[in-house]
Amino acid sequence: MKKKKDLKISRRTVMKGALAAGAMMSAGSIPSKLFAGEFNIPDPLKPLPTTGGNMRWIDSGDMKGVFWKKLFPEYAASRGITIEYDGLPWKEINKIVPIAIRNGTVHDVFQLPLGMDPGVAVSEGWVQPWDDYIENLDEWLANFPAGVYLPGVNQFNGKTYGLCLTANKRTGTCLLYSEKYMSEAGYDPQAGRMTYSEIRDAAKKITKRGNGQYYGWIIGGNQVNRWEDVVHTFGQVAGAHGGRGGFTNRHINFQNGKFQIASDQYMEAVELLLQLKSDGSAFPGVMSMNAPQARALMPQGAAGMIFQGPWCIGVWGRDAPEWKYGIASEPVPDGKKAQPLYIAEGGSNTLWLSANSTMGPFAGDLIRFMGTEQGQIYWAQTVGAADPAVNPEAVAKAGLTGPSAQALAMFAENLLVGPNPIVRNKDVGVVAAKSRVPDPSLALVIQGLYTGQLKGVEAQLKDCNQRYEDALDQAVEDARADGANVTRDDWVFPNWDINSNYGASKYSEL
């Protein structure tokens, strides 16, 4: 008996087809191979070793991991090697990478732990430059937007040690909401940026309608950096102009070089979080869940709003494609106009090559391909706004639609490049290496205020601000004792116009 052949079309296949069709309409240069879910990987510019080998790669995962898991098998097969990929949360990277460096087993390609100064990695000899492994490096680097590759950030001693395939033009505290719940509460965040009062009111109404089945707002409160991220970004939107990044940038107002943790804008942001709790609008149990757990509860209908990053888009699209949600900019205090947010120059997700690695030719070949327009289009089509491709032209050609496109447009509108002390003076890197974030950090202080273990927002933030000031003073003093030529004045940028990008010409004026 002849067996009937079933025609099975998986959801993934349909999505691949739709993705490819959309991409081809917007970018005629995309190869037809993409339709089959394959990549058009070009031949290496120069012969690669024929000895094969296993390349180990670690990064912070999320949508990056989704992309690498698609590309790596195909690339590995084309080059006769194997690739072992570990996409882990930052908390794990912060633990694993230092230990692996210490015992000489770090991955061939890795990301540095958060807050670690790249200059330390170079001076300690943990990493090697990419220069020998990327053909025509200068020509290749010229394809990237200005400000991605900078001395003291990812270039040291005239060589390029860190490679960035993604831009840092994004925020991690967007308003992500259930369309249904928000609409039932009578609000449309797409109509304009919501105010703190509107957020509270919407959260109250959603909670009331939920009647114990769902709540107005959720946060992964066990993951303490989420508290700091929200207050930091909301404070900036409200007008606390300052830097982002590690301890030597974050929360510092570059107009006067001082920390602004105790500013009115930060206090208002903390008060908003406390009010969401006291209103009864917060999801019960936020203190015992991390950010991914909180994110996963949104499509399940457990809450109406969450302040998180565009990485949710890819995850929700994969896990809950039917769920309707929206993305909007961070809210603003009542009666205030939203201010720009600032990012430091450079890219994000910087990739470093282990000093002990013998897989440099393959890693360089792969990253070189990913830095081309074609590679960046591939990246943008899979990763979307979660970790935007660094090449804006490739992003435009990727044909993104829906929340990803909206998020990217939002970031383009809201974000400017701010000053970066390390670009001005590379010895700031020594200060970064000497820095110790005071205990308890701002993140923990906010968590303590939220749980009620700490009392008095103003007093706590003032104390915290002073601790940060003292810690930076101490780090500067320690760096100077080690011969670094640095002072607190390196954090003051008197020519900073808060409404425009701070570029090379501004640095030269100082």
Partner 1 sequence: MNKKSLSKQIYDARWCYVFVLPCLILTGMFVIYPIGMSWYFSLLDWSGFTKEAKFIGLQNYYEAVNDQFFWDAFIRSFIFMFGTVPVKIVLGFIIAVFLNNQVLKLAPFFRTVIFMPVVTAIAIIGIVMTFVFSPFNGPANKFLMSTNLTSAPIDFLGNPDTVLPTVMGVYVWKWLGITMMYWLAALQTVPQDVYDAAKIDGAEGYRLWIHIILPIVLPFAIVIILVEAVGALNVFPLIETMTAGGPFFSSEVMEIYIFRTAFVTDSGTMPRLGYACAAGVFWGVAVLFITVLQGLWMRRTRRI
* Distance, CA of 344 to CA of 421 (rounded, Å): 9
Strand 162-163, strand 351-354: pairing: antiparallel
* Distance, CA of 222 to CA of 216 (rounded, Å): 18
Name which of 12 and 95 has its Cβ closer to partner 1.
95
Backbone angle region of 170, left / alpha / beta, with phi > 0 → left and psi within -120 to 50 → alpha:
beta
CB of 448 to partner 1, least distance (A): 4
CB of 224 to partner 1, least distance (A): 5
* 210 C-beta neighbours (distance < 10 Å), count: 19
CB of 222 to partner 1, least distance (A): 6
Name which of 124 and 393 has its Cβ closer to partner 1.
124
Task: Tell me if 161 sits within 8 A of 154, measured CB to CB.
Answer: yes
CB of 461 to partner 1, least distance (A): 15
Task: Tell me if 410 sits within 8 A of 388, measured CB to CB.
Answer: no
Name which of 311 and 493 has its Cβ closer to partner 1.
311
* Distance, CA of 397 to CA of 426 (rounded, Å): 36
One-letter identity of residue 491: W
Task: Tell me if 389 sits within 8 A of 160, measured CB to CB.
Answer: no
* Distance, CA of 235 to CA of 339 (rounded, Å): 10
Name which of 47 and 125 has its Cβ closer to partner 1.
125
CB of 288 to partner 1, least distance (A): 4
Task: Tell me if 239 sits within 8 A of 423, measured CB to CB.
Answer: no
Name which of 101 and 134 has its Cβ closer to partner 1.
101
* Distance, CA of 163 to CA of 143 (rounded, Å): 13
- Contact residues for partner 1, defined by CB under 8 A: 90-91, 94-95, 98-99, 101-102, 113-116, 120, 124, 221-225, 228, 246-247, 283-289, 297, 302, 433, 435-437, 439-441, 443-444, 447-448, 450-454
Name which of 329 and 447 has its Cβ closer to partner 1.
447
Name which of 94 and 466 has its Cβ closer to partner 1.
94
Tokens found for residue 232: 């930091």
Name which of 229 and 345 has its Cβ closer to partner 1.
229
Name which of 301 and 326 has its Cβ closer to partner 1.
301
Name which of 71 and 444 has its Cβ closer to partner 1.
444
157: CB partners within 8 A, 6+ apart: 122
Helix (H) or strand (E) holding 253: strand 252-253
Instruction: Say what the alpha-carbon torsion angle 423, 427, 430, 435 is, to the nearest 10 degrees.
Output: -70
* Distance, CA of 27 to CA of 30 (rounded, Å): 6
Ordered DSSP codes for 476-496? HHHHHHTT----GGGG--TT-
Which residues face 57 on adjacent strands? 85, 109
3-state secondary structure string across 59-114: ECCCHHHHHHHHHHHHHHHHHCCEEEEEECCHHHHHHHHHHHHHHCCCCCEECCCC
Name which of 53 and 246 has its Cβ closer to partner 1.
246
CB of 91 to partner 1, least distance (A): 5
Name which of 205 and 226 has its Cβ closer to partner 1.
226
Name which of 38 and 271 has its Cβ closer to partner 1.
271
CB of 504 to partner 1, least distance (A): 29
Task: Tell me if 222 sits within 8 A of 444, measured CB to CB.
Answer: no
* 502 C-beta neighbours (distance < 10 Å), count: 23
Compute CA distances 326 → 52, 63, 316, 366, 477, whole Å: 46, 19, 11, 35, 47
